[in-house]
Amino acid sequence: MPLSETFRDLARRLATDGAGPSCDAEAEALLVRADREPALRAGAMRQGARGLRAAAKLLEELSPGAGGAPFRPVGLRGAVAAGHVALVAGRPDQAELIGAGVAEAAPDSPAGLRLVGQSLFAQSRYGLAVRALRGALAADPLDPYTRSLQVEALWFAGEREAARCVMAGLRGLDLEGARLAAALHEAIVSGALRGAGGAP
């Protein structure tokens, strides 16, 4: 099954379980909280609410008329799946907005900032992608997938030495980390990443 269909299938199943209405409910909660926050923080929360509403709309399109459910865990997973559907559909700006919503609604989860990082990378905004992925790693420092994304973002941002350091740490993390590090090393050696960022 193609990657885009895998994400679409996951999002559809979560939408059937009520992920869309739960994203809408969490967006409402963020807007209520935003009214009690300083301007800068309130702006971020309102942007997060827009992201969750975008996720809810996408989920509603995938499974019209589904019932409501608590935001966690169904809504969180549904919003992330909806963000990935937008990403593989070539709408990284929408995926970024959804990721920001997830990050506001569930700040202890790395999923939102990881999605933001992937979305920024897809928009060739590599320096910002590095920052978002650092935030995701602060929430889950041992996640090999996020570390591998950070290696790519650093490489494309021209921060080659930092990319190699993160890759070395990835190699020693666990079996999955070693596998991802080997794949990244092969991509570098084979020239698959030639032309990315600064000079090799």
Q: Is the domain defined by 110-200 classed in CATH 1.20.5? A: no
Q: CA-to-CA distance for 106 and 70, rounded, in angstroms?
A: 13
Q: What is the pLDDT of residues 112-156, one digit of tens each?
A: 999 999 999 999 999 999 999 999 999 999 999 999 999 999 999
Q: Where in the chain is the domain with CATH 1.25.40?
A: 110-200
> Contact 168/128 with Cβ under 8 angstroms?
no
Q: What percent of the chain has pLDDT over 90?
A: 82
pLDDT at 199: 39
Q: What percent of the chain has pLDDT over 70?
A: 92
pLDDT at 138: 95
pLDDT for 200 beyond 60: no
pLDDT at 5: 77
pLDDT band, residue 197 (cuts 50/70/90): low
DSSP secondary structure of the chain: --HHHHHHHHHHHHHHTTHHHHHHHHHHHHHHHHTTS-HHHHHHHHHHHHHHHHHHHHHHHHSTTPPP--IIIIIHHHHHHHHHHHHHTT-HHHHHHHHHHHHHH-TT-SHHHHHHHHHHHHTT-HHHHHHHHHHHHHH-TT-HHHHHHHHHHHHHTT-HHHHHHHHHHHHTT-HHHHHHHHHHHHHHHHTTTTTSSS--
Q: Does the pTM exceed 0.85?
A: yes
pLDDT at 127: 97
